[in-house]
Structure 1
Amino acid sequence: MLHFLFPDSHDHPTEPMNSTKCLEFLLLGFSEEPKVQPLIFGLFLSMYLIAVFGNLLIILATTSDSHLHTPMYFFLSILSFTDICLTSTTVPKMLVNIQTQSKVITYAGCITQMFFFLLFVVFDDLLLTVMAYDRYVAICHPLHYSVIMNPWLCGQLALASWTIGALHALLHSLMALRLSFCTRVEIPHFYCDFTKLVHLACSDAFINDMVMYFTSLLLGGGPLSGILYSYCKIVSSIHTIPSAQGKHKAFSTCASHLSVVSLFYCTGLGVYLSSAATHSSHSSERASVMYTVVTPMLNPFIYSLRNKDIKRALKRLFGAKDKRTDFS
């Protein structure tokens, strides 16, 4: 999830090695062992298909059921679409490289992949913040929920998140274009990670580093602070509810979102920080897999298993008979 939040602290190359316009990069991936390649291919293909079809089912369920045409499920459908796009940005290229036994990605392809990866990661992050605000309004201001979370505001929040993500991705992509690379640049990753790319440049990347740290603080700390603030208010409001049943009902409305937020940040921050401490490229790759593939794959299960409305919508989608007793 958050490679853009915590740039690697590797030193820049100090010797100017044949600086020229690089036309292609090599994605080293996870392993060069031929016997391991089929296992990696099968594992990632399975996870990718589960992530795509799982999130697609969430989108179909929320759009086909009129009972789910609410702000909460509007943002959930966008989150599912973003997760599909995020995994599709990196995994298919890796699968193609394994199948063709080629590690090459063109310069233009690398910059394009980096742009869309940054776009969807930030959009995902901001959407989770918007969903936390939606739950805050629903629990802390239930009588004014329909007035505050009106369709116009929901659309504006989604558009603002998309715009910020696009501007962030465009900024880093344009700054990457000003860098010069040595011939035959090898990226120790399975996709064009921006932090790895910057630290492989032969030219001075000091400005790129400063912009990375600034945007990390702004787009990493800002949304996380907003989520924590929203849930502090939610917990405080739940404590004022007199009945235990009322407390359980209020908490259940945000349990799935809280699970996704925890998974998103714990895998992105915890695993990546541990890998950054060891300066291991393989640890960094494993961290990336957690938030670029595993988290989008698990999100549909979290929402479908913990949400009765989603279960009901999925049963209707597949033509199953709707029985209230099935969800007890």
Structure 2
Amino acid sequence: MTGTPQPRRWKRHDLMAGYGFLSLWLFGFFALTAGPMLASLYLSFTRYNLFGSPEWIGLGNYQLLLSDPQFRQAVKVTVTYVLVGTPVKLAAALAVAMLLNNNRRGQGFYRSVFYAPSLIGASVSIAIVWRAMFIDNGIVDRIGSGAGLDWGGWIGNPSLIMPMFVLLTAWQFGAPMVIFLAGLKQVPADLYEAAAVDGAGPWRTFRSITVPMLSPVIFFNLLLEAVHAFQVFGSAYIISNGTGGPAGSSLFYTLYLYQRGFQDFRMGYASALAWVLLVVVGLLTFVMFRTSNAWVHYGGDEK
């Protein structure tokens, strides 16, 4: 009976040690994540210019969004980018992953080459190089002129600047490509052998075997890339010089948020924009998870 308090002391000691190891993470979470989020939620209901005290206006910022034409333009540009850029990027990643899935000589080198653009990500240097390539009389414009195409610079053309951003995101397909490669390695080879015996062609094999077996990986990449597409900022800011031009054709949502918060100093309005984006991305994630049962097939599922 005298030994019963000892395990309790050990349990309490382990608990305190665990909290001790977590203390730095907890401090960072509350001080750098949860705290600023709650502060921005409060500011979204205020009129605040960074230099005075916040003035409570209730739902005024959110009501203003409904009548803001630039807000609607930013939503249009961003949704277009998500709906076009994400599928193009994933299609390129899957196509290259299937080409690199065979055990051939030099496969490691080719995988590294295709993955390299993703290592630098949406850096400032890449955005500057991309802008130099697509400006008027840039290398892309000169190549087009040599082929008899007078583009006049993609960046200055409202109808071509979005395709340019889609090409930029599609070029950086390395990360989803690696994930697709890992998924392809898990597809049983006997399924392809059975399909070949039954006389299935490449398209039928891809549609009936590869896509269903890869559906969890496709879902993961689709969700991840869609969320990232909603947050694009660096390349949009550099390429458009922070203006979102021409004619608002590159006014991405995060760029508009930056303009209102740090150029116009309307931090309350910018906070409302940020929370609308958070809610939209959260709803998108929720809908994708709820609808995934209809097309995502995990091992052992009877569907």
TM-score with structure 1 length normalisation?
Answer: 0.28
TM-score with structure 2 length normalisation?
Answer: 0.29
| Greater RCO, CA 8 A, separation 6+ | 1
Which protein has the larger Cα radius of gyration, Structure 1 or Structure 2? 2
